[in-house]
Amino acid sequence: MLDRSEVGKRGYLDRDFRLVHLKDSLAQKIDYHYHEFDKLVIFLGGKVTYVVEGVTYFLKPWDIVLIQHNLIHRPIIHAEEPYERAVLWLGRDWIAQRSDPGEPLDACLDKSREQGFHLLRTGEEGRLGYARSIQQLEEALRSEEFGAHRMADTLCQQILIQVNRDFLRANTAPAETDSYHLDPKMEEILHYIAANLEGDLSVDALAARFYMSRYYLMHRFKEITGYTVHQYTVQKRLLRAGELIREGVPVMKAAEQAGFPEYSTFLRAFQNTFHTSPKNFR
């Protein structure tokens, strides 16, 4: 059974989008977690590494971390300097409603998930543009003037459009190995798990497939990702089942397609994780 103290949902978005500007002087330990919304983390200062799905990113000021819904991640905050960032939470329905045919505003997030690379490193000119846009959005969100909400909505779209343009132009490419660290074998295993949720993802099966000892796989997987193979696969299967249920797939079929052969096992895990029954999960 998945231990929610190790990998749980964090944060709740009750509006179309939200911008928070935070600065912490004390290092805090943040556990691995995921969100049901999309998120952009604009790193402004401090000494922080950011782990997304087992890949560690070494952040520089004005780096942007792209985190799509249901991706497991955490920042590792070092105490030497205050950690400052602007975080933009983006509702998935809002993104869909603001997107044009053929130009979805979450294209950058889709690409980041697809290629397993979640970092945008901005240039000097880009930093000035993002700084100006974030300041304007903060002012619009505080404003009570006529049209303030519409202005904030438009500014949020502008930021997301610019992130798409920069990321799709590959301002930071996976080839820039000084910006991140990954274990190639673990990356291969994580991609395999994501693509084969219906299959046998036991430690024994994975160890045999990737020619590793069972002990080494368990140790290395925990070291790289922060959680066990079982915790990770159960969480990914539950998140996939939730996606299918939201798309209208019948609950039992969703459980099967997400890799749960026994419905009773799925039901217990689902209720423990989401605190509601699958039928009420929408």
138-173 residue pLDDT tens: 999 999 999 999 999 999 999 999 999 999 887 555
Nearest to 252 by CA among 223, 278, 227, 280: 278
pTM greater than the 0.75 cutoff = yes
Nearest to 109 by CA among 157, 80, 151, 69: 69
Tell me which architecture the domain covering 183-280 has in CATH.
Orthogonal Bundle (1.10)
Half-sphere exposure of 25 (CA within 13 A, CB side): 0
**42 forms bridges with which residues in the sheet?**
64, 86
pLDDT, residue 281, reads 78
- Sign of the torsion formed by the C-alpha atoms of 120, 172, 224 and 113: positive
pLDDT, residue 252, reads 92
**63 forms bridges with which residues in the sheet?**
121
| Rounded Cα distance, 169 and 171, in Å | 6
| Rounded Cα distance, 252 and 272, in Å | 17
Cβ atoms within 10 A of the Cβ of 175, count?
A: 8
Tell me which architecture the domain covering 7-179 has in CATH.
Sandwich (2.60)
| Rounded Cα distance, 123 and 248, in Å | 43
Q: Which residues contact 134 (CB under 8 A, 6 or more apart)?
A: 19, 21, 42, 86, 159
| Rounded Cα distance, 16 and 95, in Å | 8
For helices 148-168 and 107-115, give the axis angle rounded to 10 degrees. 40
Which value, to the nearest 10 degrees, does the dihedral of the CA atoms of residues 158, 160, 166, 170 take? -160
Where exactly are the structural domains of the chain?
Answer: 7-179, 183-280
Nearest to 55 by CA among 72, 38, 34: 72
pLDDT, residue 1, reads 32
pLDDT, residue 54, reads 85
pLDDT of the chain, 282 residues: tens digit per residue: 333 334 555 556 778 999 999 988 776 788 888 898 999 999 999 999 999 988 899 999 999 999 999 998 989 888 778 899 999 999 999 999 999 999 999 999 999 998 889 999 988 888 999 999 999 999 999 999 999 999 999 999 999 999 999 998 875 556 566 677 778 888 889 889 989 999 999 999 999 999 999 999 999 888 887 779 998 999 899 989 988 998 889 999 999 999 998 888 898 988 888 888 888 876
40-53 residue pLDDT tens: 999 999 999 999 98
pLDDT, residue 174, reads 61
pLDDT, residue 61, reads 93
